[in-house]
Chains A and B, each alone.
Chain A
Amino acid sequence: MAEVYNWQLGRNMEYPYEEHHSKRQFAAVFNTNRCIACQTCSMACKSTWTFSEGQEYMWWNNVESKPYGGYPANWDSKILSQLAEADPDGQKWSEDGTFDGKTIFEAAPKNERVLGYLPTNAEWRTPNLYEDTSTKYKSSGKLGLADGGAELPAHKAWFFYLQRICNHCSYPACAAACPRNAIYKRPEDGIVLIDQERCRGYRKCMEACPYKKPMYNAQSRVSEKCIGCYPRVEGSDPLTNGHPMETRCMTACVGQIRLQGLVDLNEDGSWKEDRHNPLYHMVKVAKVALPLYPQFGTEPNIYYIPPRWVPREYLTQMFGPGVEEAINAYRAPSRELLAVMQLFRRSQEIVFRYEIEEGPKAYETKVRGEKFTMYNDTVIAYRENGEEIFRTEVEEPVIVRPPERSNAI
């Protein structure tokens, strides 16, 4: 195996191929604090890419209810258990943020390139197991409405929604494991694709990917996966007149929790300093967004703002050692971060750069003994060529339903 540098682990690691990096990297930030699991992203993806025969069980995008939900079932607890077995008591982070344990490449059994497992058909069957669903919905026939209204379960325990797509990893386990070299990473944007001509459906990618995002099509007998909506990212969709556009799952997001873009990379794979790229700001400057299970070692490129009501031990296992810092950055946001968060879902186009125009003080309050001041700044989003896409203000109108209309139904 070759030695490559993984910045999320803070060290070199073993990988089957020599280190090479794309010019740019497809990346996104998901704010788990805001997701309502409406599954509009899942349906936007499904209705665009996976509505054909043989794709019935495929959800390239899914939203699962953590800690118990998962698609395929138990995907993360299974691979975590495998790693713990391969490296008993060793899967730990040092205080300086370096990962001391073994990645899925380093823990691979003899004669295998990656540690993994192939999910069963039953595990793929229920993408929304444990999801919030009405507990009382029996139609009486009248207008199709339930007697007394539908009722959601009352949760007494913490939970949160985890939105998942392919991470378009910098060191993809799927590509590492493919015996046909059918999986490649595009040099222009780092999107990971499966060459449908070369693939012979051995399913080594399904076995290797720790996030379980390659899926097998029993009809065509080849594997398929999220393609990062590359025609949109390339700007070849007519909607935006040739300007790069975010993916379907991102732009359909009702909760406005997703922002996707492209980050420029240095030759060594590190992110080029790009102070006014919103993704660069959130991941590298504010450090409010973290990769999903960085300890797997694939250097995933979807970053999550962790849910701040969840026990820290669980979050640290899921997002690595930066959890406390990320939550602190989110719960007491800087003036700049507040403005950057307004860029989420104001447009379908990729925002390459932002600028902030300072506005008046909106209000002042006190939280945890500290003064917090809210300014109504204006954030302006720009295209790659420097043209303005949109501008929006930080202060949003708050509308409270009057008591006599507390429930519209």
Chain B
Amino acid sequence: MSGHDKEFDADDPMALVPAVMDVPMDEASYRQMAETFVEEYMLLGYSDEKIVGLFRNPFYRATHEILKTKGEAYVMDLIEEIRNG
């Protein structure tokens, strides 16, 4: 039996105790998080097209997750808002 297959032992001080947090998120907090991504890339000098590309590309998991959840119109609106204030 490999280490990965062993059951969690509460008395093992070195054991990893991971947990997935399935917490509902309010709209304002979600928007704030999404805005941070866009703002970060804009400060790096990325064009709007390049930023949209990061949302479309599944390799960029966090940004892509936003596009999958909210749709492309939400992302375009986000970029427009952060670009022009």
Chain A 125-158, CB-CB to B under 8 Å as 1, else 0, gives 1101111111101110100000000000111111
- A: which residues have CB within 8 A of B? 56-57, 68, 125-126, 128-135, 137-139, 141, 153-159, 308-311, 331, 362-363, 365-370, 372, 374, 398, 401, 403, 406-407
Nearest to A146 among chain B residues (CB) is B4
* Beta-carbon contact of B18 and A131 below 8 Å: yes
Known: A154-B65, A156-B23, A157-B23. A367 touches B43 (CB 8 A): yes
Which residue of A57, A68, A132, A308 contacts B36 across the interface (Cβ within 8 Å)?
Answer: A308
Query: Does B73 touch A at the CB level, under 8 Å?
Result: no
* Beta-carbon contact of A133 and B18 below 8 Å: yes
* Beta-carbon contact of B32 and A311 below 8 Å: yes
Interface centre among A308, A309, A368, A374 (most CB of B within 10 A): A309
CA A154 – CA B58 in complex, angstroms?
Answer: 13
CB of A114, distance to nearest CB on chain B (Å): 28
User: Which residues of chain A have C-beta atoms less than 8 A from B33's C-beta?
Assistant: 158, 309
Majority SS at the chain B contact face: loop
Known: A68-B21, A157-B21, A406-B59. A125 touches B13 (CB 8 A): yes
Band of interface residues on B: 35 or more
* Beta-carbon contact of A365 and B36 below 8 Å: no
Query: Does B76 touch A at the CB level, under 8 Å?
Result: no
* Beta-carbon contact of B45 and A57 below 8 Å: no
Nearest to B58 among chain A residues (CB) is A406
Nearest to A308 among chain B residues (CB) is B36
CA A311 – CA B25 in complex, angstroms?
Answer: 11
CA A401 – CA B60 in complex, angstroms?
Answer: 11
Show 11 A/B contacts (Cβ-Cβ < 8 Å), sorted by A: A56-B14, A125-B13, A131-B16, A134-B18, A158-B33, A308-B36, A311-B29, A368-B83, A368-B84, A398-B44, A406-B59
Known: A158-B29, A308-B36, A331-B39. A367 touches B21 (CB 8 A): no
* Beta-carbon contact of B18 and A155 below 8 Å: no
* Beta-carbon contact of B13 and A368 below 8 Å: no
User: Which residues of chain B have C-beta atoms less than 8 A from A68's C-beta?
Assistant: 21
* Beta-carbon contact of A130 and B21 below 8 Å: yes
Which residue of B2, B32, B83 contacts A139 across the interface (Cβ within 8 Å)?
Answer: B2
* Beta-carbon contact of A365 and B10 below 8 Å: no
CA A368 – CA B22 in complex, angstroms?
Answer: 32
User: Which residues of chain A have C-beta atoms less than 8 A from B22's C-beta?
Assistant: 156
* Beta-carbon contact of B61 and A366 below 8 Å: no
User: Which residues of chain A have C-beta atoms less than 8 A from B83's C-beta?
Assistant: 366-369
Nearest to A365 among chain B residues (CB) is B45
User: Which residues of chain B have C-beta atoms less than 8 A from A365's C-beta?
Assistant: 42-43, 45
CA A139 – CA B18 in complex, angstroms?
Answer: 18
Identify which of residues 25-39 in chain B touch chain A, using a CB-to-CB cut-off of 8 Å. Answer: 25, 28-29, 32-33, 35-36, 39
* Beta-carbon contact of A135 and B32 below 8 Å: no
CB of A249, distance to nearest CB on chain B (Å): 19
* Beta-carbon contact of A130 and B19 below 8 Å: yes
* Beta-carbon contact of A137 and B4 below 8 Å: yes
